[in-house]
Homo-oligomer: A and B are copies of this chain.
């Protein structure tokens, strides 16, 4: 089902960070975004404007005319609102969600053609991202729909994969560790530095190198620091410095133990 990009009419249900970046990227590649739904008028309108689309804040007013519906809502909202979202939708439209952690079979019995379109990246409102390097994982039941989703994904990214729901779920869990939890480590460091009136910027070369290193070495081989050396003097000194931050102190201890445990496993 190879078609011209402008022949593919796409509706977005949701206008959060992921939806915004994805819709803009598709629009720039020549796909036709026909409508954006968000329950927040400001979000719906703002994204719609950027991609030359109509907008609505009413689920009942979601267009019945699109060929592809990309649903990108908070996971709980997606599950709750699904019947309402798809009500009255055209039989021949393809529905996909963008969630790492939600299986494809959530669509079962709701619509006839369905799948998943999961760009694995961290999206923030204030930052542009380069879709070419973002791995996109697609899934569907039909060969034809999978091919269609892969074509769309390939227009955006050089890294397009098929992944089952089980694989996507574990990718998402691993992504929480690599991205969300790492960022939280930066955030805790930033809190510490603020307390000691030191600028967070001095950490950036270290953050960059830590990220670059695992392009060449396995993370286990790249591990450095007092926990992997089991340098008790340093560890105890750090725990003492965190005495008035009991939660950070506990985290320090648990993560250090975990580093030591993984380091001593064969």
Contact = CB atoms under 8 A, between A and B. Distances in A.
Contacts of A85: none
Q: How many copies does the complex hold?
A: 2
A79 B255 CA distance: 26
A255 B181 contact: yes
B124 A183 contact: no
Q: Is the interface of A mostly helix, strand, loop or mixed?
A: helix
Contact of A174 (B127, B182, B193): B193
A247 interface: yes
A177 B192 CA distance: 10
Given A196-B167, A200-B218, A247-B258, A241 B183 contact: no
Interface in A131-185: 133-135, 159, 161, 166-167, 169-171, 173-185
Contact of A213 (B127, B178, B206, B222): B127
B202 A211 contact: no
Given A101-B238, A222-B124, A183 B203 contact: no
Interface string A231-266: 111100110011000011011101100110110000
A135, A191, A209 pick with most chain B CB within 10 angstroms = A209
A77 to B, nearest CB: 10
Interface in A85-137: 101, 120-124, 126-127, 129, 133-135
A126 B74 contact: no
Nearest to A101: B234
Contacts of A206: 120-122, 175, 178-179
B178 A233 contact: no
B202 A120 contact: yes
B214 A183 contact: yes
Given A135-B205, A177-B252, 18 more contacts: A122-B213, A161-B202, A170-B193, A173-B242, A174-B190, A174-B198, A177-B189, A177-B192, A180-B223, A181-B185, A182-B210, A183-B219, A186-B214, A187-B219, A190-B218, A208-B211, A211-B211, A248-B258
Interface of A: 17, 74-76, 79, 101, 120-124, 126-127, 129, 133-135, 159, 161, 166-167, 169-171, 173-193, 195-196, 198, 200, 202-211, 213-229, 231-234, 237-238, 241-242, 247-248, 250-252, 254-255, 258-259, 261-262
